[in-house]
Structure 1
Amino acid sequence: MPKRTSATTTLQPQQQLRKNAANVTLSLPSNSGHQTTPSANERSCVAYECEQHAVANLPFNWQSLKVSLNDRISTLCLNEYMSDVHFIVGSSTTLPPTPIEQLPAHKFVLCVGSCVFEAMFNRPLSLNNEQTASNNDKIEVPDIEPIAFKNLLRFLYSDHVSINDDNVMAILYAAKKYCVLGLERLCVDFLKKNISLENALILLIQARMFDEPQLAAQCLDVIDKNANDALTTSEFYDLDLDTLCAILKRDTLGIREIKLYNSVIQWAKHQCSKNKLESTAENVRNTLGQGLKLIRFPLMSQEEFASGPAQSGILSDKEIIQIFLYYNLPSGYKIDFDDEPRNTGKEYSVNRFCEVENRWSYSGTSDRIRFKVDRRISIAGFGLYGSIREPYEYEVNIQLLHSESGIIIGQNESVFMSDGSTSTFRVLFKEPLEIQPHEYYVASAKLKGPDSFYGINGLRKITHECSADGKVTFHFAYASGENNGSNIDDGQIPEIIFCL
């Protein structure tokens, strides 16, 4: 009886990789296969295509038909001729089960291409076992699909491989297990070229599992730019906690904190359900673990926090009081939650005035202007005029309201130092505020300070070129009610600062 050994036992691959990698299917473009076109000689090779097995005998002087060394070696791929080892690949006990196939190979070729195969066939397997796999002609590989193992062999014999969206993760797992670096790079490059919103989350999980930091970084960039959509998908709710925390740590997530909070709570409830736990406040908090501290509650408006997280039962009384104190005490009050604003995209600004005049006075009412845009953007803040004389520090309360409903989307009390010039001075919200296309919003600023400059010859429509991000068109309109005299033609709030 020929001896049989298990490659899984011999190699002791990472348990998590073996558990998750074999059956991952990605949603990638249908024409995204990676295959090097073979030459005429390669096409004529017996068993060049790894899906087919060759006969055990080759015709006499078959070598004369193969011009190059690559031609001759690739002819032996999956060929019984001169084979000295067989792999029993696949398993009927996995979910879903994979077909079991016996694949022939040649130890010399395997050892030349893989240090793992070299160790299996020519080096001691452990300090306590001097026997090598060289005496075994049947090796079990239950953790790799036959199609992936065939592609691994094809690469070792010919430097060619057929990668597509259905097999890339299984091939990458095989390449990692047997330390075939060239094949690893081909798989990772394929994945990098095919990242999309639809597969970014599942690819992020795999990139972290396979220890591919560059691929993980590209996935996170896609998630940053599409956070509103990505963090409400079924794939998001299936993330592990470590991957969730990697996302929550991002300073560049393009999503409002209250929306991020709601998505994270839904993630925790989904995990509770999966683990057959009730979605109580205590269980949700325990499930979130360290992830709770990564939610930036100070970036929410006080109204958002009061009507949502403060009433959820997830936060302790101490944490709730601490956050309310943060809202109402002078800046610099320290709390346990991060208050660093998330950078939600590249920043741009539009100025609606053609000229600047003086003087504009303040009597306790807000300057206001109504506007709408033709695409979804995030409002970061406003540019305001300052003192007409010496430098002065203005106190200001800025707001963004939805015109039809009157709902305050966001607000911030701040100060800005003017220098006596006609320049505009930035006042920002705690986080960029997302607005929808073709709906009117009201920009409001209540200033406390001396007379300032103001703008004249206002524009009703501005189309701003945003380099690679395309165009944004603003339409300005009169805001009825108390507005301190600001209107389309002249007044305060010359600049809208926004992000894409």
Structure 2
Amino acid sequence: MDGDKIKNEDQAKNKQCSNQKASNQQPGFQSVASQSQVIGACGIAGCSDISLPGSSSNDCSQLAVPPCGEQVTPQQTVQLPRSHRHSVNGVGTANGAISISSPVNAVVKASSTGTLSGSPSQFYVHSIKQESMTSPSASDFFVNFPTLVCSNCKGPGLGNSGLHTSTCSANLFKSEDSGCDSEFVKSGQAFFQSSSLLGSSPQNQGQAVYNWQATKTSVKERLAFLYATGTMTDIQFKVGKQPSQQIISAHKFILSVGSAVFDALFNGHLATSDTIIDIPDVEPAAFGALLRFLYTDEVQIGPETVMTTLYTAKKYAVPALERACVDFLKRNLSPDNAFMLLTQARLFDEPQLAALCLETIDKNTSEALAADGFTDIDLDTLCAVLERDTLGIRECKLFSAVCRWAEAECLRQNNMPPTSENQRRVLSQALRLIRFPLMTVEEFAMGSAQSGILEDREVVELFLYFTVNPKPVISFSDVPRCCLTGKEQVVSRFCQIESRWGYSGTSDRIRFMVNRRIFVVGFGLYGSIHGPTEYAVNIQIVHMDSTKVLGSNDPTFQCDGTTSTFRVMFKEPVEILPNTSYIACATLKGPDSYYGSKGLRKVTHESVSSGKVTFQFTYAAGNNNGTSVEDGQIPEIIFYT
């Protein structure tokens, strides 16, 4: 009997809630987020209902929430449809306030004051009792809460205002189940001045309207508010492709002011009348970055979105955002990504960025070719690189890298097996850009000649070029790259050889300077006085002023016990600039060796093909195992001009 009575009372309450809601909904009563949203629609004390665009029902009784005005316990779980939000942490009047120290899903009667306790959870501050706002008093209505949580990204902050996680761009008041409230939630306190609650106009028929315009002190703030909340939007874009396609709303006027393309689209002779515009070729994140820039002048790009944002900025003719993207790429350019960015720069017609990428590749050729991005470039980009005279790498190493690219290209083309015939086919005109004549005959014989990529006729032609005079005309260029001619040269700094030189883990070091640009590829070192022996060695070239290690290697070398020097090579050539001090270092592990004496401070090396190079040797201060200008290790420097 009592149960039936309670049930009937609840049904009466729900009916009253539904009827009251229908009578109280007015078009002038708006929230900060949408023109059609109603706060506290039913007007019953403690009701947590808020109607949203697309809602199928505004009746509290049809939702899994307590009846209007009923007290519930803290931390009670409320399951809500996607089209509604019914989770209020406090309801008060203009004459009082409710302080909530730890937001929970609970409904509080309008007359209540005090504090609720419980575990923090997602929260929304909605219901403001309509009748108490019709004639607001001088007092202010506010709700305190210490912890802000975005219901989409779980991060703290204010929706599109940027204080929550950077990847979240959701708004609280949307029919979709995501977002934050950028206006009701600020600095841990929702604060509503009575002057911001308007009433008594014929349009709102005495209902309270949130005057958001009064809180914005600049055009930028007002536009940022429109961007963050979607207020008064008049156009929608269907951006991207499924399954990541998104519907994004905007304002025609703002887009037209910032983009000539949008201006023509909305206001030109062939202006569209569509209310939803499909943009399948643009990523949603990139389009969002474009809108943010047009509304607020803010640039939000990252490594993952910069290229798609650059494409979008070009598509809609927003040069300021284009420049921001290019500047970002310049700041983050490195040998590891130089080839990837070069491909994109050529695709988007950014000649300045392309030139910077090529310059980076020239200065760090070996490192750039070793990066994963090299094998992903297209054939045209590969040819553009191979045409350059300024690559800082030996041609045999360049050929090896090109073979790696050809293998990857075979797999991209219908998983073709990477045979030598198929590699030659995919290389096409790029093969003619390899400068085989720049190799030594040994490099060619051990590598390119045995690769199978060259035809027999071409191999014979190149061997004749290497071995006969006058040299025959061939189909491959012999123009030097980066002044690396193919002929090694060696400078020796000692006049006499002595024995014995010991090693205890300290580096032998000598300082040197040259009068013209060269590329050092290795050192000649003395070997053991005790017969054939293997040494472990570390070699380095250090820029003296900056102490930067420009080149290093950790090989082993075999000596035969004679006074001959033994070659220890760097992985790649090290560029040596004129009139700059460098330190040559060698750390040997092994038995006592020969050493040089009667050293020369100045040595001029001359060759018919490259002219003169003058070396000046000086003492390298610090621990150097006794090596000096007069005697010690590192008798030879091997170089190209």
CA distance in 2, matches of 1:77, 1:259: 54
Range with greater deviation from structure 2 (324-333 or 257-266):
324-333
Task: Quote the residue 2:459 is aligned against.
Answer: 320
Task: Quote the residue 1:161 is aligned against.
Answer: 299
Task: Quote the residue 1:36 is aligned against.
Answer: none
Q: Given the alignment, which residue of 40, 43, 52 partners 2:170?
A: 52
Q: 1:492 to 1:246 in 2, by over 3 A?
A: closer
Indicate whether 1:299 and 2:434 are aligned: no
Report if aligned partners of 1:380, 1:497 keep a CA contact under 8 Å in 2: no
Task: Quote the residue 1:283 is aligned against.
Answer: 422
Report if aligned partners of 1:89, 1:101 keep a CA contact under 8 Å in 2: yes
Residues 257-288 of structure 1 show CA distances to partners (whole Å, capped at 9, x for unaligned) of 11111111121122223322222322111110
Report if aligned partners of 1:372, 1:437 keep a CA contact under 8 Å in 2: no
Q: 1:381 to 1:231 in 2, by over 3 A?
A: closer
Report if aligned partners of 1:224, 1:344 keep a CA contact under 8 Å in 2: no
Task: Quote the residue 2:408 is aligned against.
Answer: 270
Task: Quote the residue 1:90 is aligned against.
Answer: 240
Q: Given the alignment, which residue of 63, 69, 88 partners 2:213?
A: 63
Residues 52-80 of structure 1 show CA distances to partners (whole Å, capped at 9, x for unaligned) of 33759995543333222222222221543
Q: Given the alignment, which residue of 231, 246, 249 partners 1:81?
A: 231
Displacement of 1:335 in angstroms is 2.1
SS across alignment from 1:189: helix
CA distance in 1, matches of 2:344, 2:405: 19
Residues 229-264 of structure 1 show CA distances to partners (whole Å, capped at 9, x for unaligned) of 322333222221111112212222221111111111
- The within-5 A match list for 1:398-409 is none
Q: 1:469 to 1:121 in 2, by over 3 A?
A: farther
Task: Quote the residue 1:473 is aligned against.
Answer: 584
Percent identity, aligned pairs only, is 42
Q: 1:228 to 1:206 in 2, by over 3 A?
A: same
CA distance in 2, matches of 1:468, 1:267: 38
Report if aligned partners of 1:372, 1:438 keep a CA contact under 8 Å in 2: no
SS across alignment from 1:214: helix
Residues 375-401 of structure 1 show CA distances to partners (whole Å, capped at 9, x for unaligned) of 9xxx9489xxxxxxxxxxxxxxxx987
Report if aligned partners of 2:411, 2:417 keep a CA contact under 8 Å in 1: yes
* Letter of the structure 2 residue corresponding to residue 68 of structure 1: S
Task: Quote the residue 2:191 is aligned against.
Answer: none
- The within-5 A match list for 1:350-365 is none
Task: Quote the residue 1:186 is aligned against.
Answer: 324
User: When the two structures are aligned, how many residues end up with a matched partner?
Assistant: 355
Structure 2 unaligned runs (5+)?
1-156, 163-167, 175-180, 184-208, 496-507, 533-550, 558-563, 568-574, 589-595, 606-613, 616-636
Q: 1:111 to 1:52 in 2, by over 3 A?
A: same
Q: 1:473 to 1:322 in 2, by over 3 A?
A: same
Displacement of 1:492 in angstroms is 7.6
Displacement of 1:352 in angstroms is 7.7
CA distance in 1, matches of 2:411, 2:576: 47
SS across alignment from 1:163: coil
Task: Quote the residue 1:172 is aligned against.
Answer: 310
Q: 1:294 to 1:156 in 2, by over 3 A?
A: same
Report if aligned partners of 1:322, 1:335 keep a CA contact under 8 Å in 2: yes
CA distance in 1, matches of 2:640, 2:360: 16
Q: 1:215 to 1:79 in 2, by over 3 A?
A: same
Larger Rg: 2
Larger RCO (alpha carbons 8 Å, 6+ apart): 1
SS across alignment from 2:311: helix
Report if aligned partners of 1:251, 1:342 keep a CA contact under 8 Å in 2: yes
Higher helix share: 1
Task: Quote the residue 1:118 is aligned against.
Answer: 263
CA RMSD of aligned residues (A): 4.4
Displacement of 1:304 in angstroms is 1.4
* Letter of the structure 1 residue corresponding to residue 217 of structure 2: V
SS across alignment from 1:104: strand
Task: Quote the residue 2:78 is aligned against.
Answer: none
Report if aligned partners of 1:255, 1:344 keep a CA contact under 8 Å in 2: no
Q: 1:323 to 1:115 in 2, by over 3 A?
A: same
Report if aligned partners of 1:80, 1:105 keep a CA contact under 8 Å in 2: yes
* Letter of the structure 1 residue corresponding to residue 599 of structure 2: D
Q: 1:152 to 1:305 in 2, by over 3 A?
A: same
* Letter of the structure 2 residue corresponding to residue 147 of structure 1: A
CA distance in 2, matches of 1:264, 1:203: 19
Displacement of 1:402 in angstroms is 8.4
* Letter of the structure 2 residue corresponding to residue 111 of structure 1: S
CA distance in 1, matches of 2:236, 2:579: 54
CA distance in 1, matches of 2:524, 2:246: 65
Report if aligned partners of 1:45, 1:75 keep a CA contact under 8 Å in 2: no
Report if aligned partners of 2:511, 2:581 keep a CA contact under 8 Å in 1: no
Indicate whether 1:108 and 2:253 are aligned: yes
SS across alignment from 1:82: coil
* Letter of the structure 2 residue corresponding to residue 187 of structure 1: C
Residues 293-347 of structure 1 show CA distances to partners (whole Å, capped at 9, x for unaligned) of 11110111111112222233322233223222222234665322111111179xx
* Letter of the structure 2 residue corresponding to residue 305 of structure 1: F
Displacement of 1:227 in angstroms is 2.1
Task: Quote the residue 1:337 is aligned against.
Answer: 476
Task: Quote the residue 1:249 is aligned against.
Answer: 387
* Letter of the structure 2 residue corresponding to residue 53 of structure 1: N
Q: 1:350 to 1:271 in 2, by over 3 A?
A: closer
Report if aligned partners of 1:374, 1:437 keep a CA contact under 8 Å in 2: no
Report if aligned partners of 1:90, 1:143 keep a CA contact under 8 Å in 2: yes
Report if aligned partners of 1:78, 1:103 keep a CA contact under 8 Å in 2: no
SS across alignment from 1:335: coil
SS across alignment from 2:253: helix
Report if aligned partners of 2:238, 2:280 keep a CA contact under 8 Å in 1: yes
CA distance in 1, matches of 2:221, 2:552: 61
CA distance in 2, matches of 1:54, 1:68: 24
Report if aligned partners of 2:159, 2:169 keep a CA contact under 8 Å in 1: no
What TM-score, normalized to structure 2? Answer: 0.48
CA distance in 2, matches of 1:121, 1:492: 74
SS across alignment from 1:103: strand
Report if aligned partners of 2:335, 2:371 keep a CA contact under 8 Å in 1: no
Task: Quote the residue 2:634 is aligned against.
Answer: none
Task: Quote the residue 1:234 is aligned against.
Answer: 372
What TM-score, normalized to structure 1? Answer: 0.60
